[in-house]
Amino acid sequence: MAAATPSPTPPGSLKRIVAASLIGTTIEWYDFFLYGSAAALVFNKLFFPESDPLVGTLLSFLTYAVGFAARPLGALVFGHYGDRLGRKKLLVLSLLLMGGATFAIGLLPTHATIGSAAPVLLTVLRLVQGFALGGEWGGAVLLVSEHGDAKRRGFWASWPQTGAPAGQLLATGVLSALTALLSDAAFASWGWRIPFLLSGVLVIVGLWIRLSVDESPVFKAALAAAEERKATAGQVEKMPLVAVLRHHWRDVLIAMGARMAENISYYVITAFILVYATTQVGLSKQTALNAVLIGSAVHFAVIPLWGALSDRLGRRPVYLIGAVGVGAWMFPFFTLIDRGTFGSLLLAVTVGLVLHGAMYAPQAAFFSEMFATRMRYSGASIGAQFSSVAAGAPAPLIATALLADHGTSTPISLYVIAAALLTVVAIVCARETRDSDLGDVAERAPEDSRVRADA
3-class secondary structure, 237: strand
C-alpha to C-alpha distance for 347 and 273, rounded to whole angstroms? 13
DSSP labels, 128-162 = HHHHHHHHHHHHHHHHHHTTS-GGGHHHHHHGGGG
Structure confidence at residue 41 (pLDDT): 67
Exposure on the CB side of residue 319, measured as CA atoms within 13 A: 35
Q: Which residue blocks in 249-341 are alpha helix, DSSP H? A: 249-267, 273-275, 285-313, 315-338
**237 φ, ψ (degrees, to nearest 5):** -80, 150
3-class secondary structure, 282: coil
241 contacts: CB under 8 Å, gap ≥ 6 = 76, 79, 80, 378, 382
Element (H, E) at 93: helix 87-107
225 contacts: CB under 8 Å, gap ≥ 6 = 2, 3, 442, 443
Closest C-alpha among 160, 146, 94, 62 to residue 396? 62
3-class secondary structure, 256: helix
How many CB atoms sit inside 10 A of residue 454's CB? 6
3-state helix, strand, coil in the chain (%, to 5): 85, 0, 15
Tens digits of pLDDT across the chain (455 residues):
444 455 555 555 778 888 878 887 888 788 777 877 777 667 777 887 766 555 555 566 666 677 778 888 888 888 888 888 877 888 888 888 888 888 998 999 988 888 888 888 888 888 898 898 888 888 888 888 877 677 889 999 999 999 889 988 888 788 778 877 888 788 888 888 998 898 888 888 878 877 777 777 777 777 777 677 666 765 556 677 777 878 788 899 999 999 999 999 998 998 888 778 888 898 887 788 888 889 999 999 999 999 999 999 999 999 999 999 999 999 999 999 999 999 999 999 999 999 999 999 999 999 988 888 778 888 888 888 888 888 877 888 788 888 888 989 999 999 999 999 999 999 999 999 888 777 654 444 444 444 333 33
Distance of CA 36 to the CA centre of its chain: 14
Angle (deg, nearest 10), helices 249-267 and 342-368: 170
Nearest 5 degrees, angle CA 70-CA 74-CA 78? 175
Dihedral in degrees, nearest 10, Cα atoms 34, 40, 44, 45: -90
Structure confidence at residue 447 (pLDDT): 42
Nearest 5 degrees, angle CA 287-CA 167-CA 375? 140
**b vs e for 270-305, b when ≥16 Cβ sit within 10 Å of the residue's Cβ?**
bbbbbebbbebbebeeebbbbbbbbbbebbbebbbe
pTM of the model: 0.84
Structure confidence at residue 449 (pLDDT): 40
